[in-house]
């Protein structure tokens, strides 16, 4: 099917994009890489009157590192995140998740801003973004705000972004050197999307007990989540098999699993628990004590 008719305007700056969103209201949609929006337009699941192209705004590009954090521009592609040396060394969880998005074409065109704003239930980034406790920066008519990752994903294809806001960057505090990490994913073999994806960051004390741990889960439910009960069960513990298994079984407290042609709710529940176990074991194996 072809999309319904729409007008098109390229924004030269974030301010111009915001002004266009204000001017056209509900009828306007931003477009970045187009890899989630165009399929939706073709299926006529969205019929905007105006596409505002933000794909060439220079200030939305690039990766900047300070001593405390890394800022990743919204237009940074999955390929750039997978291959950027600064991200690979400081945030290997994020670069690994990016490397496993879709296929080469998708990774070359798709952007982190578009992926987060779209909030597909099966997207890879949410697991990593949650486990890294990132902040999503949005700019709108009333200025700029930082949205913690755990407050960003609200429901299926729904985020905390307001209609007139542009997601400008993702900011991630640098985890300590020597932290352990893992991204475990059961991928849909046709698209690459996550049927289940689990991202984990672990920091160990010098005696080997867990000083800090974060677990983010995507794909399994309508919205990605932080597995707080699992984290609490691991905090301060030495990571023996029985501790890990018991903590992984707490991963889904209160979650309604998706039940669709890619997997039943019971299948997703088992896979989520299994991948959580694997992610903790792999992250612990990579973590340096102290």
Closest to ligand FAD by CB, 34 vs 62, is 34
The reply to whether 129 sits near ligand FAD by the rule CB under 6 A is no
Q: Which of 11, 20, 21, 29 binds ligand FAD (CB under 6 A)?
A: 29
Closest to ligand FAD by CB, 162 vs 235, is 162
The enclosing H or E element of 226 equals strand 225-226
CB 219 within 8 A of CB 197: yes
CA-nearest of 202, 207, 205 to 281 is 202
CB 57 within 8 A of CB 11: yes
What does each C-alpha distance from 223 to 112, 140, 151 come to in angstroms? 17, 24, 11
HSE (side-chain half, CA atoms, 13 Å) at 256: 6
How many angstroms separate the CA atoms of 78 and 81, rounded?
Answer: 5
**Least distance (Å) between residue 161 CB and ligand FAD:** 6
Number of H helices, E strands in the chain: 11, 14
**Least distance (Å) between residue 102 CB and ligand FAD:** 3
The reply to whether 21 sits near ligand FAD by the rule CB under 6 A is no
How many angstroms separate the CA atoms of 24 and 195, rounded?
Answer: 36
**Least distance (Å) between residue 189 CB and ligand FAD:** 11
Closest to ligand FAD by CB, 33 vs 203, is 33
* Site size toward ligand FAD, by CB under 6 A: 32
Site string for ligand FAD, 54-93 (x = CB under 6 A): x-------------------x-------------------
**Which residues of this chain interact with ligand FAD, rule CB under 6 A?**
29-37, 39, 54, 74, 101-102, 106, 110-111, 113-115, 117-118, 120, 123-125, 161, 166-167, 191-193
């Amino acid at each position: 099917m072809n999309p319904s008719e729409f007008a098109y305007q390229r924004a030269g700056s974030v301010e111009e994009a915001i002004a266009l969103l204000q001017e056209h209201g509900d009828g306007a949609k931003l477009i970045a890489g187009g890899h989630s929006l165009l399929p939706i337009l073709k299926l006529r699941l969205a019929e905007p009157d105006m596409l505002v192209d933000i794909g060439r705004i220079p200030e939305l590009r690039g990766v900047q590192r300070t001593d405390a954090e890394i800022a990743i521009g919204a237009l940074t592609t999955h390929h750039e995140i997978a291959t950027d040396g600064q991200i690979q060394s400081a945030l290997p969880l994020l670069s690994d998740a990016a490397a496993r998005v879709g296929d080469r074409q998708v990774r070359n065109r798709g952007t982190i801003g578009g992926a987060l704003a779209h909030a597909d239930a099966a997207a890879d980034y949410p697991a990593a973004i949650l486990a890294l406790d990132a902040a999503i920066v949005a700019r709108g008519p009333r200025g700029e705000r930082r949205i913690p990752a755990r407050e960003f994903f609200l429901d299926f294809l729904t985020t905390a972004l307001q209609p007139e806001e542009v997601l400008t960057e993702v900011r991630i505090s640098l985890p300590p050197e020597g932290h352990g990490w893992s991204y475990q994913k059961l991928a849909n073999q046709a698209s690459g999307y996550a049927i289940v994806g689990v991202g984990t960051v672990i920091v160990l004390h010098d005696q080997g007990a867990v000083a800090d741990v974060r677990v983010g889960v995507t794909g399994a439910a309508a919205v990605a989540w932080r597995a707080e009960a699992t984290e609490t069960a691991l905090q301060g513990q030495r990571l023996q098999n029985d501790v890990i298994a018991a903590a992984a079984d707490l991963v889904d407290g209160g979650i309604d699993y998706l039940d669709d042609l890619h997997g039943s709710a019971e299948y997703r529940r088992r896979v989520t628990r299994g991948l959580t176990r694997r992610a903790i074991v792999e992250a612990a194996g990579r973590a340096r004590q102290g």
